[in-house]
Amino acid sequence: MTFLRGTALTTAATLGYADTADLGPTAGNGFYKRWPDDLAVLQDVGITDVRITLDWARLQPKPGALDPDWGERFEQMLQAARAIDLRTWVTLHDGSIPRWLDNEGGIDDVEALSTWWPRWVEAAADRYGDHADGWVPFSTIPPTALGSPWADTWGILGGGGAPVVASLELDEAVADIEQVRDRCHRLGVSVSAVPDDLHTEPAGLAAERWGQSLRDAAAAAGDLPSVVTGFETGATDPEAAGRLVEQLVDALDDAIDDGITVEVCFVEPAIAGPDTSVGLLDQDRAATPIVGAYLRS
């Protein structure tokens, strides 16, 4: 048994943050114009799953209804991915929020998040639910969302046909899983790599560390299958990035051999941007050493 190979199309790397976002504006990688070809290239190199973020700031530049133009664009992206047999996992927050929400307290304000987040989830579910093979509502659940906001998320999405993933930082998963275990279909873990590990630790030690943390999280999650919701090397050197991904694959293979169910792993970014680490594809859409390390048998 092995795991499916996925990649994440995050807002920061693909479109860049909009001027309607709290972190915007920033540059993207051209995905806005090239997305049909970009999706085809990812499928061609062997990617099976994509995690696509619906950019809240673009889709709701003001509280209320979805922006019609962006609403249509994102629907086309999801439809195009599924048309070429890429499974689509939909994310609703991966870093930025609308500026209007930031003005009301932002993602770290429980009252603001509890007020506006469920309305956003409902709007996204109504428009895009038929195009989702899975939901990863938060790329990593912030502490303010572990209570009522996550319960609302589960209440809105949990009865649908697509699995809902509770994504936690790998090192915090054991402590936090109690709050979401009964309100998700999958345990998600976001793995942070440190490129300096390649120079300060013996080869393979990072893999052992990640693997043990994954086993601990899976044990705390009980019968829930696992999903690696995000792994970004943080490296700017392609060869170093490839070595880190190789260690991740070793860690996941060993965990699976020990009986841990890992359904899919999302390595990010799919395509490098001007301000990101190395992606599976560089800005010219050429494969990087990550591809060989990640897609090996």
In the chain, what are the domain boundaries? 4-294
Half-sphere CA count of 152, side-chain side, radius 13 A: 17
> Over its length of 297 residues, how does the chain's per-residue pLDDT go in tens digits?
689 999 999 999 999 999 999 998 999 999 999 999 999 999 999 999 999 999 999 999 999 889 999 999 999 999 999 999 999 999 999 999 999 999 999 999 999 999 999 999 999 999 999 999 999 999 999 999 999 999 999 999 998 889 999 999 999 999 999 999 999 999 999 998 866 555 555 556 788 889 999 999 999 999 999 999 999 999 999 999 999 999 999 999 999 999 999 999 999 999 999 889 999 999 999 999 999 999 985
The answer to whether the pTM exceeds 0.85 is yes
4-294 architecture in CATH?
Answer: Alpha-Beta Barrel (3.20)
